[in-house]
Amino acid sequence: MNSDGNLQREALPAAELLTTVSRPGMEVFQLTTNPEMSSSVLYNYAQAFDPTSRYVIINRILPHSNLPTMVDLENDFALIPVISEEDSESCPAQFHVGVTFSRDGAYVYYGLIRDPGRYVISRRNVATGDREDVFSIPLDLSGTPLAGWRLGGCRWLSFSHDGRRLLSVVHLDGGKDKYYSIGLLIFDLQTMELGNAFETGPRNWNNKSQFAPCLGPDGEYLIGLCDCYSKAWHDDDGHWHCDQLPDGDLGTSTYLVDEEGTVKYVYPVGRDRPKQNASHWAWYGNSLRRVYHCDTFDLAPHFRGCMFLVDPVPADETTRHLGRHHPQANQLDLTRHITRPDVYHICVSDDAKHIVCDTMSLGYPKSDDDLRSATRYLYGCTVREDGDGAYVDPFFILTAHSSWRPYGAECLPCMTPDRKWILFNSDYPGVNGYRGDWHTPQVFAIRGCVFPE
């Protein structure tokens, strides 16, 4: 790779990940190769890309710090730190990280805890590299509706579709029991003030809470939430744990709230396990519609999962948990023409015409000798129409050869807005000089994957 200035590069070619049935013209690169750092694309890919498709934000984790990093896809995969070295020590070493591009792509915003006892949202100018603090609030959240909690770190950041609001999803510690809760801080970029804050509860830890990509039917800003029917906590060593609730109270429900936290709409999908538990989802283009991965479904319970297109329907606190049992439930199976659906993480293009996803496989490997299950692979879809509506027409991309151990090695495929690049995670060590150990996730990129039209 070329070198200019002090920009760091680690990328190596990884053509061995291609197969005889991969589409012609594709190239694969391993963007990060430092075996001392766990690297991954962001779990919420909507945070990751600038609108020009030149930069992508990835997460890089050291034992005691987090290093969100921009990758310049047009400059030999240069790695550009988002935050200063000093601030990285204040950014918790966790898989989820509060960082995102502004809507115009001019800045990267990030949240971190800074002494003495402040939560700061700062930003980095993409062009100049200059950094400045934008918001600062006390960790005890005094003076906000969340007073009494202690802010334990930033999990997500997202902008409203018009760039006028910034949503910070944070850990709330110091409750009555061991479980942490989740809070939402809504900053107004017009007045540069904290507009509102509210708690969503201890069962919202896996919600990917973010602003919807458009206004609601009444012209309101809407925020997507999720009740995962389990509670999470950290032990004294900082290890994460999740406790399932009793069998009679399982399944995920997802819904939309306004800026006051009032439930407005529900997505009528999922809610029952094992028949139809809704898991990962993505916005269907720039609309309120969503595409869901559902673990199983009634007509073929032996299937790993299918992909549903779902419209939100009006709801309130009494109906948001009904899921597919909501009287206005509507679900369109996008995978209805696929003989053996297998869907897990999903990324949908802004025009809702192209999808990239991975599979969960036919089951976890039974031994360490079968870590790189070939049934876990990446595939793309062109969205087509028939008499029943939209459906997906899939094509194979490649096998990522990831063990999925640890969590950061889940593939999480995502694509740049112009679809020129597809990125994913894998702990595959590579053969071109990296030769690191298994279980150190790294970021890979595919160039030249053309979706059939």
265: Cα within 13 Å, side-chain hemisphere: 21
Would residue 364 be called left, alpha or beta, if left means φ above 0 and alpha means ψ between -120 and 50 degrees? beta
Helix (H) / strand (E) element for 263: namely strand 263-267
What are the C-alpha distances in Å from 174 to residues 14, 136, 179? 46, 20, 9
Cα–Cα distance measured from residue 336 to residue 392, given in angstroms and rounded to the nearest whole number: 8
Question: What is the Rg, in whole angstroms, of the alpha carbon atoms belonging to the chain?
Answer: 21
Residue 199 and residue 182 in contact, taking contact as beta carbons nearer than 8 Å: yes
Q: Where are the beta strands (DSSP E) in 63-130?
A: 65-66, 69-72, 78-81, 99-101, 107-114, 118-125
Question: What pLDDT, on the 0 to 100 scale, is given for residue 1?
Answer: 36
What single-letter DSSP state applies at residue 409?
A: G
What single-letter DSSP state applies at residue 87?
A: H
**Of 350, 354, 258, which is closest to residue 312 (Cα–Cα)?**
258
Question: What pLDDT, on the 0 to 100 scale, is given for residue 431?
Answer: 63
Residues in a beta bridge with 421: 447
Cα–Cα distance measured from residue 132 to residue 146, given in angstroms and rounded to the nearest whole number: 26
Cα–Cα distance measured from residue 119 to residue 137, given in angstroms and rounded to the nearest whole number: 5
Q: What is the pLDDT along the chain (453 residues), one digit of tens a residue?
A: 334 557 899 999 999 999 999 999 999 999 998 888 899 999 888 889 999 999 999 999 887 778 899 999 999 999 999 988 777 766 666 777 889 999 999 999 999 888 788 999 999 999 999 999 999 999 999 999 999 999 988 889 999 999 999 999 999 998 878 999 999 999 999 999 999 999 998 888 876 899 999 999 999 999 999 888 888 888 888 788 888 877 666 678 899 999 999 999 999 998 887 677 887 899 999 999 999 998 766 555 455 688 999 999 999 999 998 988 899 998 999 999 998 888 999 999 999 999 999 987 654 445 554 555 667 899 999 999 999 999 999 999 999 988 887 778 889 999 999 999 999 999 888 765 555 666 789 999 999 999 998
- Confidence (pTM): 0.92
Question: What pLDDT, on the 0 to 100 scale, is given for residue 433?
Answer: 53
End-to-end CA distance of the chain: give it in Å, rounded. Answer: 34
**Of 129, 144, 17, 53, which is closest to residue 414 (Cα–Cα)?**
53
Question: What pLDDT, on the 0 to 100 scale, is given for residue 334?
Answer: 96
For 339, the token pair is 């003989």
Cα–Cα distance measured from residue 84 to residue 90, given in angstroms and rounded to the nearest whole number: 10
Place of tokens 């409750």: 175
> What is the signed CA dihedral for 163, 165, 169, 172, rounded to 10 degrees?
160
Q: Is 174 exposed, middle or buried (0-12, 13-18, 19+ CB in 10 A)?
A: middle
What single-letter DSSP state applies at residue 214?
A: S
Question: What pLDDT, on the 0 to 100 scale, is given for residue 229?
Answer: 81
**Of 62, 147, 39, which is closest to residue 445 (Cα–Cα)?**
39
Cα–Cα distance measured from residue 380 to residue 395, given in angstroms and rounded to the nearest whole number: 5
